[in-house]
Amino acid sequence: MTVVVDRATGKRRGDRAPRPGPLQRLKHAYQKYWYAYAMTAPVVVVLGVLVLYPLVRGIYLTFTDATSLNSARTIGVNHIDATYEFIGLDNYADILWGPTAYDRFWSHFVWTIVWTALCVLLHYAIGLGLALLLNQKLRGRTLYRLILVLPWAVPTFVTVFGWRFMLADAGIINSLLDAVHLPSPLWLEDTFWQRFAAIMVNTWCGVPFMMVSLLGGLQSIDAVLYEAAEMDGANAWQRFRHVTLPGLRSVSSTVVLLGIIWTFNQFAIIFLLFGNTAPDAQILVTWAYQLGFGQQPRDYAQSAAYGVLLLSILIVFTSVYRRWLARNEQQLAS
Amino acid sequence: MSTTSTTTVTNPAPADQDPAGTAPARRPRRRGENSLATTLTSHGVLTVASLIALFPIVWLVYLSLGPDKDDYLHPEDIWGKMTLDNYAFVLQHTPFFDWLKSTLVVSLGTTVIGVMVAATTGYAVSRMRFPGYRKFMWVLLVTQMFPVAVLMVPMYEILGELQLIDSYLGLVLVYCSTAVPYCAWLLKGYFDTIPFEIDEAGRVDGLSPFGTFFRLILPLAKPGLAVAAFYSFITAFGEVAFASTFLLSDTKYTFAVGLQSFVSEHDAQRNLMAATAVLVAIPVSAFFYLVQKNLVTGLTAGGTKG
C-alpha cells in the first residue's frame, strides 16, 4: 500500500485508521486542509459567481423563449419586466431537427469540425517543423525565433486587419496572383475562399504558440537518448520517430488539447475577418454570437442553446481524448 | 585562386592508415553539427517562414504611411508620398488616448488580480493533496472550453443587475474568469518543478504554509509568474467578443473595440485604421519581448507536467 506524504505538511496519508463518523471526518478534513481550501477559495468564488451561476442561468434560458423583446429591460424611466416563458426542450429540437436545421446548425457544425481539424493539424505540423529547425545549432537562430513569434506577439485584432487589407479584392495578394497570371479569388466574398482565408489567417496566428511549446519540449529531451540511438545505428528518421516523438508526448497531448479547444472556440478571427457578411463561413461560436447579439431582435434563448450544445460537444470530446491518452500510456507502460 | 585549390589537395590521407595518428581527410561530423546542405535548407526554410511571419505586419506599417484612405489599393504610389500625417491625426483627433487608458486599466487589472488568484490556487493544487483536488483541476480545464456564447447572455444580465455594464471592473472580472483557470494550470506545473524540500525547510524554520508560499515559493517562481502575467495581459488586451458587447460608451472602448469603430464611423478610413493598429501593436509587442525569455521555460513547465 502506498503512503502519500502531503507535501506541504509532511503528514502521511493513506495510513489506515478507524473510520470516524461523517461529521468528525468533515471537521478533521477542515483542520487538516483549511489552508488549501483558503488558497483555492478566491478562484472558487470567482468561478462560482462568474462562471457557474451564469452557466446555470444560461442553461435555464435555453428552456425559454427569451429574446431581447421579452426580456427585462429599462427604457428611459420605465422598467419592463421579463415576459418570456418556459418552453422546455423546444429550442434544442428546433436547432437539431427543426425546419432548415441543416442550414442553421448542421452545415456550421460540419464546417466547425473541418475548421478545427485542419487548423490544429496545420498548427502542429508547421509548429513542430519550425521547432525542429530551431532546435539545431544554427547561426542566428535567436533572431529567427524572435521573428517567428511575432504573429503571437501582435494582438490578433491588429493582425486580422492587416490580413483584411491584404485579402481585399484589389489587395496585395490578388495583385501578386494577377502578376503571375493565377486566378485571383474573391477572398472575402466567395464561401470557399472565405473558409480558405479563415484557415490561412488562423494558421498564421496559431503556429507560434505550438512552435514555442514544442521547442521547449524538444529542449527538455535528454541528449543522451539521441547518443544512445545513434550508437545503435538509428538514422535520422528513426531517431525522430523513436526518440523525439515519444519525448514530446506529454507536451504534445497538452498543447493539442488546448489547441483544439481554442480553435473550436476561436471567435476573434472569423468575427473580425468577415463581420456579419459571411453566413456560410461562420463557425458555431460566431454563429451563436450573431444570433444573440448580431441581429434584431436578439435571440437570447437560441444563442444560449447553441452555447450549451458547443460546450457538451467539447466536454464529450475532452473526456474521450483523456481516456484515450490514459489508455495509450498504459499500453506503453506494459 | 590557386591557394584555395592547393589546400584541398594537400592532405589526401589514405583511408586505411592508422586512425589514431593522422588527421582524417574529412573531419567527422560531430553530433549536433549538420552538413552544409542541411544548414542551407534550414536557413532557407526559416527565412521563408520568417518572411511570412513578418509580411502582414510590415505591410500594415507600410500602408499606415499612405495619406489617402484608398491607398491600400495602389500600394506602389505610397512610396513616393510617405507621410506620418495619419499618426498625427489619430493622436490628435480620435479618442486614441481614452482607448489607451481603458485598455491599460482593463488589461493590467486582469493581470494583477488574475495572477494573484491563480498563484495561490496553483500552489494549493501543486502542494496539497486535499480531497477533491483532481476534480478541481478538471473543473479548471472545463472552464477553458466555455464558448463565449454560453456565458455571454447570462453574464450580460448579471452585470446589468450589478450595474457593471459599461464599467472597467465588470470587464476585468469577466476576463479573470477566462484567464485564471489557464494560469492556475500553468503555475501548478511550474510549482511542481520547485522541489518541495524547500517547503519543508521553510516549515522546519517555523513558517506557516502561507509564509512558505509568499516568502519562499513566489520569489522562486518568477519566470512562471511572468508567463502567467503575460498570458492574462494578452487575453485581456486582445479580447473582442465581451468587450464589444459590454462596453457601450465610445470613450471606454478598449482598442479591440475602438479599432472596429473606424470602419463604420469614419466610413472605412483604412489609412487611419492602419496607423492606429500600428500604434496599438507597439506597446504589446514591447511587453511581449520583455517577457519572452521566460516564455519557453514557463510554458514547458506548465505543458509537461500539466
Task: Give residue-wise pLDDT tens across range B101-130.
Answer: 998 899 999 999 989 888 888 888 887 777
Residues B44 and B103 in one domain: no
How many Cβ atoms from other residues are within 10 Å of residue B129's Cβ? 17
- Residue A267 sits at the chain B interface (C-beta within 8 Å): yes
Residues B270 and B204 in one domain: yes
Contact (CB<8Å) A42/B139: no
In a domain, B11, yes or no: no
Instruction: Report the gap between the CA of A168 and the closest CA in chain B (Å).
Output: 8
- Contacting residues of B for A5, CB less than 8 Å apart: none
Measuring CA to CA, how many Å separate A297 from each of A290, A291, B129, B240? 11, 9, 50, 22
Residues B51 and B102 in one domain: no
Q: Which of A43, A149, A308 lies closest to B117 in CB terms?
A: A43
Give CA–CA dist B45/A134, Å, rounded.
11
pLDDT band of residue A22 (cuts 50, 70, 90) is low
In a domain, B22, yes or no: no
> Can you give the pLDDT at residue B89?
83
B27: pLDDT strictly greater than 60: no
In a domain, B171, yes or no: yes
End-of-domain residue from the set B83, B114, B138: B83
Residues B52 and B156 in one domain: no
> Please, is B39 exposed, middle or buried when counting C-beta atoms within 10 Å of its C-beta (0-12, 13-18, 19+)?
middle
Nearest residue in chain A measured CA to CA from B275: A158
pLDDT tens sequence across B247-266: 888 788 888 888 877 766 55
> A92-333 in CATH: which number?
1.10.3720.10
Give CA–CA dist A263/B112, Å, rounded.
27
Is the link from the previous residue into A297 a cis peptide, with omega within 30 of 0? yes
Domain with B56, as residue range(s), is: 37-83
Nearest residue in chain B measured CA to CA from A317: B145
SS3 assignment, position A186: coil
Residues B67 and B109 in one domain: no
Residue A73 phi/psi, 5-degree rounding, is: -155, 165
Give CA–CA dist A187/A199, Å, rounded.
12
Measuring CA to CA, which residue among A129, A109, A85 is closest to residue A314?
Answer: A109
Contact (CB<8Å) B33/A153: no
In a domain, B106, yes or no: yes
- List all residues of chain A from 102 to 121 with a beta carbon under 8 Å from chain B: none
Contact (CB<8Å) B32/A6: no
Provide the number of structural domains found in chain B.
Answer: 2
User: Which CATH number is B170's domain given?
Assistant: 1.10.3720.10
Measuring CA to CA, how many Å separate A233 from each of A226, A229, A230, A237? 11, 6, 5, 11
CA A331 to chain centre: 28
Q: Which of A39, A137, A154 lies closest to B57 in CB terms?
A: A154
How many Cβ atoms from other residues are within 10 Å of residue A266's Cβ? 23
Boundaries of every domain in chain A: 4-62, 92-333
A75 DSSP β-pair partners = A78
In a domain, B232, yes or no: yes
Q: What is the ipTM score, two decimals? A: 0.75
Q: Which of A47, A57, A158 lies closest to B281 in CB terms?
A: A158
How many Cβ atoms from other residues are within 10 Å of residue A185's Cβ? 18
Residue A1 in grid coordinates? 500500500
- Residue A163 sits at the chain B interface (C-beta within 8 Å): yes
- % of residues, chain B, pLDDT over 90: 6
Asked whether the beta carbons of B59 and A166 are under 8 A apart, the reply is yes
In a domain, B245, yes or no: yes
How does B93-104 read in b/e, with b if 16+ C-beta sit within 10 Å?
A: ebbbeebbebbb
